[in-house]
Structure 1
Amino acid sequence: MNYRKLLTALIALHLSDFAFAHKVIGISDGDTMTLLVDNKSLKIRLANIDAPEKKQSFGQKSKESLSDICLGTDATYEAQTIDRYGRTVAVVTCNGIEANKEQVKRGFAWVYVKYNKDSTLPALENQARVSRFGLWVENISIPPWEFRKKM
């Protein structure tokens, strides 16, 4: 990690300690949004989860679900790191709802086992699977990390 990215990550982590609310101005997909922070756009990747890709089954539904939860609302976030694309990876709360958990609970995201730091998420994913919510209505669901390997 270069010094600029490290500095950016440290600043983001420091700023996330404060509970400032920022307008959600865009939803890219089921696990990525844009916030307006200090009159600048900030791309946020939801931590601990991975949503279907746009070209993947349920990709659009996952995006719609995250839009339903957050778009146009004020959100707070707890930054965890900066990813290789320069996005802030964070836990985001919109209207008192933690978007990361809600996406898993609704069945529109997988727990991203490789990076997950939230011990409550696997049980939420399992409940969504058992209840056949969201993408779990299909018998065969390919996780996004496997789908991306084929692209």
Structure 2
Amino acid sequence: MKKIIITALLILSICSVQAQTMLTGTVVGVKDGDTVEVLDDQNKTTILRLAEVDCPEKKQPYGKAAKQFTSNAIYRKTIHYFVTDKDRYGRSVAKVFYKNKYLTAEIIKNGMGWHYKKYSRSRELAQLEQKARAQKKGLWADANPIYPSDWRKARRAKKNY
């Protein structure tokens, strides 16, 4: 029985390691602050939705600034990433690293996005957001920053009015 449990645990750990295989690619497009396009070594492109962060929409206040921040950090550069999930649009949700930095943390630290608490329990990211808020960095300089999903709902309601 003990041997079966150990074997099962070993299989589970191997599966989790395989699910988090680190990949490498070059960023060939930045769609917005939290979505990029990556070209791998086999000339295949993949759309990556950054894990644990939600940036303002393109037409939302600070949307262009968030996109520019992400572009300045990784456009045309080699990144390392691992896919954590697929989102409802079929995009790969990924943790992206560059120059030994976690891109999501850099975005949040600089006030270019919200810690996506619905999908992340990271205390470090929550603390980075609180610090950026306190320092009024980026979108936190706005008196009333609107969370992207709330902004989208308001835009849809306005169109239907």
Which interval holds the TM-score relative to the shorter structure? 0.7 to 0.9
In our comparison, the structure showing a higher alpha carbon Rg is 2
Report deviation, 1:16.
4.2
Which residue number corresponds to residue 91 of structure 1? 95
Which residue number corresponds to residue 37 of structure 2? 34
Tell whether the 8 Å contact from 1:21 to 1:74 is kept in structure 2 after alignment: yes
RMSD: 1.4
Distance 2:19 2:115 in 1: 26
For the structure 1 residues 15 and 25, does the alpha-carbon distance in structure 2 shift closer, same or farther, using more than 3 Å as the test?
farther
Report deviation, 1:149.
1.4
Distance 1:47 1:99 in 2: 9
Distance 1:94 1:16 in 2: 17
Distance 1:137 1:23 in 2: 32
Which residue number corresponds to residue 118 of structure 2? 114
Deviations 1:7-36 (A, max 9, x none): xxxxxx84741x342101110001000110
Distance 1:14 1:23 in 2: 22
Distance 1:136 1:21 in 2: 33
**For 1:4-19, what aligned pairs fall within 5 Å after superposition?**
14=18, 16-17=20-21, 19=22
Which residue number corresponds to residue 146 of structure 2? 142
Tell whether the 8 Å contact from 2:23 to 2:82 is kept in structure 1 after alignment: no
Distance 1:42 1:16 in 2: 16
Tell whether the 8 Å contact from 1:74 to 1:95 is kept in structure 2 after alignment: no
State the one-letter code of the partner of 1:80: T
Which residue number corresponds to residue 105 of structure 2? 101
**1:127 matches 2:136:** no
Distance 1:132 1:68 in 2: 21
Identity of aligned residues (%): 36
**1:70 matches 2:93:** no
Size of the aligned set, in residue pairs, is 138
Which residue number corresponds to residue 8 of structure 1? none
Which residue number corresponds to residue 25 of structure 1? 28
Which of structure 1's runs of 4+ aligned residues deviate more than 6 A? Answer: none
Name whichever structure is richer in helix by fraction: 2
Report deviation, 1:58.
0.4
TM-score by length of 1: 0.86
Distance 2:106 2:129 in 1: 10
Instruction: Choose between structure 1 and 2 for higher RCO, CA contacts under 8 A separated by at least 6 residues.
Output: 1
Distance 2:80 2:59 in 1: 29
Report deviation, 1:145.
1.5
Tell whether the 8 Å contact from 1:73 to 1:95 is kept in structure 2 after alignment: no
TM-score by length of 2: 0.81
